[in-house]
Structure 1
Amino acid sequence: MSIAAKRLPNLHVDLWRYLMLVSHVRTGLCGAVIALLPLSEGHAHEIVGNRFFPATLGIDDPGVNDELSVPTVDAFRTGDVPSVRQRDVSGEFSKRITEDFGVSFGSTYTFLNPTDPTVPGANGFQNLETTLKYRLFKDPTHEFVMSVGLSIEWGGTGSQNVGADPFNTYTPMLWFGKGFGDLPDRFSWLRPVAVTGQVGYAIPARNFTTTFGIDPDTGDATADTELHPRVLNWGATIQYSMPYLKSAVADLGLPDFFNHLIPLVEANLQTPVANTLTSGTLTTGTINPGVLWIGNKYQLGIEALIPVNRQSGTHVGVIGQLHFYLDDIDPRGIGKPLFGRPVQATSPTGRN
């Protein structure tokens, strides 16, 4: 699960808008789908060799899967002066078109409560986001996977009173994952370690917005121009898989609950890199230590949100998520790629 220019991916959208977007995506990608038809049966989840790459809360995982993240809930204080208590309830639906190509839809409902009681709060939906992802490379021997794609934030589909932009933003993306199961025997205790990462370049469809008004003191007309920067969205995770430790390194005889855990730390950062005269170039974001509990058909995750500087927030926040593996829940129905054979059901706890 991913967080791009906004803190979380977006989930709520009315049914008509959702169906229209799916129709446009299918029409525009019809020719590409034919060229990408898989030649062999795929696997549920993003399993590369013995490595299972789970969905993470801060950045998107490198896989292409049929998944549902609902709900994802967070709470934190923004870096505004005075700060604002922000809570988000969001989710994302991901659907494979072929074994290697998929599309996801998401949205967020945001609650803003200023700490200054004289400032009114606001609630509303963020913009709908759509992400197209293609798995470019997969090396089971070295537990390495790479995907590329495009994330689109549809301007005007959310409420401007909670910060949703009235214009589209296009973000070319790259994701990767690498497990360390290929380390020599003397480093066997490090084999459960994996890293994932993403890099995106957010390009607003509008370079600036000019707001016209009247100076209350002089009565003269005023014009205020805000530049919309191009932003580098980047992040990474480091994970230690207890299921991998048990199944591929050594069974320590731990209680079963611990054999389902993946402790991890995520970094989710944004750096304005162009058109920055009014925004500056300061990097903002959070470092998120936490843990995932991995089941056969779903996973649970919780992480702290630690701001990297004052502009990123004023207190430690929290984020939690319930995530469903649709390709295991219904491998021949909603979990089957639209084009291609049914997936081969695979337990993430048995091959991790």
Structure 2
Amino acid sequence: MSISPRRVGLYGLMVALVPLTPSLAHEIVGNRFFPATLGIDDPGVNDELTLPTVDSFKTGDNPPVRQHDVSGEVSKRITEDFAIALGATYSFLNQTDPTVPGANGFQNLETTFKYRVFKDPAHEFVMSVGLSVEWGGTGATNVGADPFNTYTPTLYFGKGFGDLPDTISWLRPVAVTGQVGYAIPGRGSTTTFGIDPDSGAPTADTEFHPKVLNWGGTLQYSMPYLKASVIDLGLPEFINRMVPLIEANLQTPVANTLTSGTQTTGTINPGVIWVGTKYQFGVEALIPINRQSGSNVGVIAQLHLYLDDIDPRGIGRPLFGNAAAPARPFGGN
């Protein structure tokens, strides 16, 4: 599995907030609503469509490459607790050296199988497990897509702080989410054979594909939760629908690292989302944690649609079993 900044901040946006209208299937745990995330995945199981997610940044290559990505993902519940998501990304690689041609193409297709294993409404806590599969050979090699599969079992969790005492009620809108995954490449190494241009002797160059710990977390403050569950400050409705947040998306090679090294790469992403009744929009900065993660600050933005609110009796309900009863954590809010 190649380690590149293209994996930083592509699939999701993270917040904790309460529903603005009755909802059938969003991840509501007590008074807490966990919508989709940008940098890391959210802990819930939902019917959702993310289209598009766009980002722009300079990679950590030397010299760096200006990369633009456009991606989309659809998530469909099979049962109330189990969902399958399909995602695709198209990359544009523009060399900073004008004499070197760029490259465009799809990254490998990705499928995620996700199962919610635990919910504690009283403490606004939820946990899910999943398996993501990057299907080797489905993308273009000229943009870095690997020719082999990569399998990533992952643990997801979310915790709201609505159970804090009244003395610190202003912290109740705070929530955290996180994920820890272990990416396992389907091939341990790749050897490229060639000819030395000076001596004419055959050469062999072996690249080892490391096993990588993909980890990250989010910290957010939900203005919808503040208004609905703590205090109404009389702010404009546009402000009451905002969720300021910061998230970290990091990768650490932990095994088979002979050619990759073990340095952690990734980004810290401050940003904000705005939540509507059937969709949300988010934007974040992509701040590299070191030179290997990127050479300047990038940006990522996403439009995310709630299929279970848009069509609750059709595409927005589980394929098997009935949808959950309408959730009204605030008596109809």
TM-score, normalised to structure 1's length? 0.88
Deviation string for 1:202-238 (max 9, x for gaps)?
0000000000000000000000000000000000000
Q: SS of the residue aligned with 1:246?
A: helix
Shift, 1:62, TM fit: 0.2
Percent of residue pairs bearing the same amino acid type: 76
Shift, 1:44, TM fit: 1.8
Pair 1:173–1:299, CA change in 2 (3 A)? same
Please give the alpha-carbon distance, in whole angstroms, between the structure 1 residues aligned to 2:264 and 2:332.
38
Q: Structure 1 residue 148 and structure 2 residue 129: aligned?
A: yes
Please give the alpha-carbon distance, in whole angstroms, between the structure 2 residues aligned to 1:9 and 1:153.
14
Pair 1:86–1:286, CA change in 2 (3 A)? same
Runs of 4+ in 1 over 4 A off after TM superposition: 345-352
Q: Structure 1 residue 309 and structure 2 residue 310: aligned?
A: no
Please name the residue that 2:84 is paired with: 103
Q: SS of the residue aligned with 1:257?
A: helix
Correspondence 1:34-49 to 2 at 5 A: 43-49=24-30
Shift, 1:9, TM fit: 5.3
> Do the aligned residues in 2 keep the contact of 1:95 with 1:337 (CA within 8 Å)?
yes
Shift, 1:347, TM fit: 7.8
Pair 1:183–1:192, CA change in 2 (3 A)? same
Please give the alpha-carbon distance, in whole angstroms, between the structure 2 residues aligned to 1:327 and 1:333.
8
Q: SS of the residue aligned with 1:280?
A: coil
Q: Which runs of 5+ in 2 are unaligned?
A: 12-22
Of 166, 190, 204, 1:185 maps to 166
Q: SS of the residue aligned with 1:155?
A: coil
Please name the residue that 1:270 is paired with: 251
Deviation string for 1:2-48 (max 9, x for gaps)?
x99823658xxxxxxxxxxxxxxxxxxxxxxxxxxxxxxx9421110
Please name the residue that 1:231 is paired with: 212
> Do the aligned residues in 2 keep the contact of 1:52 with 1:351 (CA within 8 Å)?
no
Please name the residue that 2:14 is paired with: none
Q: Structure 1 residue 279 and structure 2 residue 260: aligned?
A: yes
Please give the alpha-carbon distance, in whole angstroms, between the structure 1 residues aligned to 2:155 and 2:65.
32
Shift, 1:348, TM fit: 9.6
Of 157, 180, 190, 1:199 maps to 180
Q: Structure 1 residue 58 and structure 2 residue 56: aligned?
A: no
Of 54, 71, 77, 1:90 maps to 71
> Do the aligned residues in 2 keep the contact of 1:286 with 1:307 (CA within 8 Å)?
yes
TM-score, normalised to structure 2's length? 0.92
For this pair of structures, how many residues does the alignment match? 319
> Do the aligned residues in 2 keep the contact of 1:327 with 1:345 (CA within 8 Å)?
no
Q: Which runs of 5+ in 1 are unaligned?
A: 11-41
Q: Structure 1 residue 6 and structure 2 residue 7: aligned?
A: yes
